[in-house]
Amino acid sequence: MTTHWNRKDQHIHLAEMQYQNTSTNGLDGVRFVHQSFSEIKTEDVQLNTQLGSLSLDYPFFINAMTGGSEKAHVINQNLATIAKETNLAMAVGSVSVALKEPETAESFKIVRKTNPNGLIISNLGAHHSADNAKKAVDLLEANALQIHVNTPQELVMPEGDRDFTNWLNNIEEIVKSISVPVIVKEVGFGMSKETIQQLLDIGVDIIDVSGRGGTNFIHIENERRDHKEFDYLLNWGQTTAESLLEAHFYRKQADFIASGGIKNPLHMLAAFGLGAKAVGISGEFLHMILTKGNQVSIEQIESWKEELTFLMTMIGAKTIVDIEKKPIILSTDLTNWCSQRYINFKHQ
């Protein structure tokens, strides 16, 4: 048990240590064409959004972070308090440890105790069975379940998985077996057209592309290795912007979440412009609560709601789905990505 707790606390420490990472999520390469007449007022703007059957009052949420240690218990309690006060949805970190070591379960259950009426998302790895998925949902009385896929992290993790043959089969069984929506989520390496098609083929209709640009789990696990031999893999994967472009063709078949290095409402707007229906944020919220405390974090989130409303007013978008209809210009890097990946990016 101690080893697992140490690993969870190492993850928290290393994630915060790389907060100032200069890696880009690619969203700064998305520019809206300014129009002088927006022809709406701020009161017209609606921030609610839909992910499958999940209704979110706000289009950004607290994405999966932690659980499984005493330190993680405190962090999850603080995050749940913030989620309750700001009415944001919240996902927890992988509950796998709680299924193996029931004494750690309280570090996850505190989220539901703190926020009894909130939209809570449980989280489990793709190697788990449908039976474990049901337990993960029951543990939190969760409204949805995230299944995270993280092959690079597992391979660099000294004690990680080495067999990935059943992941798609497991996810398919979970989708068929549980009564709440299933979200499949990368962990910062982005998604491809091919991956998205595989997920659609097994019935997944909410996908978090979770691109490169935020917390880097290759870096985190490499730091835990004696020889740190995987330094050369630190830029592995697709950025958040590239991943949303990969998803472009499938926007009518699934609802997409953007995560990976989202730091401000302009990043959110860019993600929505590329077709995301919601944005998940982890590193920024972790940094907030560790360095500024709950009250300042709550004030920041309320400010973001207002700022996003202003940005949507500026481009004349009354709803989240209106944003992707607005003209945008992509950077040379992103247009080159589209060209080489045969992505015909155009607006609805």
Judge whether 7 is annotated as a binding position. Answer: yes
Q: Are 121 and 89 in contact (CB under 8 A)?
A: yes
Judge whether 176 is annotated as a binding position. Answer: no
Residue whose tokens read 């973001």: 304
Judge whether 283 is annotated as a binding position. Answer: yes
Judge whether 52 is annotated as a binding position. Answer: no
Judge whether 225 is annotated as a binding position. Answer: no
Q: Three-state DSSP class for 205?
A: coil
Judge whether 38 is annotated as a binding position. Answer: no
Query: Cα separation of 32 and 338, whole Å?
Result: 18
Q: How many CB atoms lie within 10 A of CB 314?
A: 15
Backbone phi and psi for residue 51, each to the nearest 5 degrees, phi listed first? -120, 100
Judge whether 66 is annotated as a binding position. Answer: yes
Judge whether 242 is annotated as a binding position. Answer: no
Judge whether 185 is annotated as a binding position. Answer: yes
Q: Three-state DSSP class for 328?
A: strand
Q: Give the sign of the dihedral formed by CA 304, CA 66, CA 287, CA 229.
A: negative
Judge whether 65 is annotated as a binding position. Answer: yes
Judge whether 273 is annotated as a binding position. Answer: no
CA atoms within 13 A on the CB side of 217: 25
Judge whether 203 is annotated as a binding position. Answer: no
Judge whether 153 is annotated as a binding position. Answer: yes
Query: Cα separation of 15 and 79, whole Å?
Result: 16
Judge whether 262 is annotated as a binding position. Answer: yes
Q: Are 334 and 245 in contact (CB under 8 A)?
A: yes
Judge whether 29 is annotated as a binding position. Answer: no
Inter-axis angle of helices 265-273 and 294-315, nearest 10: 50
Judge whether 215 is annotated as a binding position. Answer: yes
Q: Are 35 and 137 in contact (CB under 8 A)?
A: no
Binding-site residue positions? 7-8, 64-66, 94, 123, 153-154, 185, 210, 215, 261-263, 282-283
Binding-site residue positions for FMN? 64-66, 94, 123, 185, 210, 215, 261-263, 282-283
Binding-site residue positions for substrate? 7-8, 153
Binding-site residue positions for Mg(2+)? 154
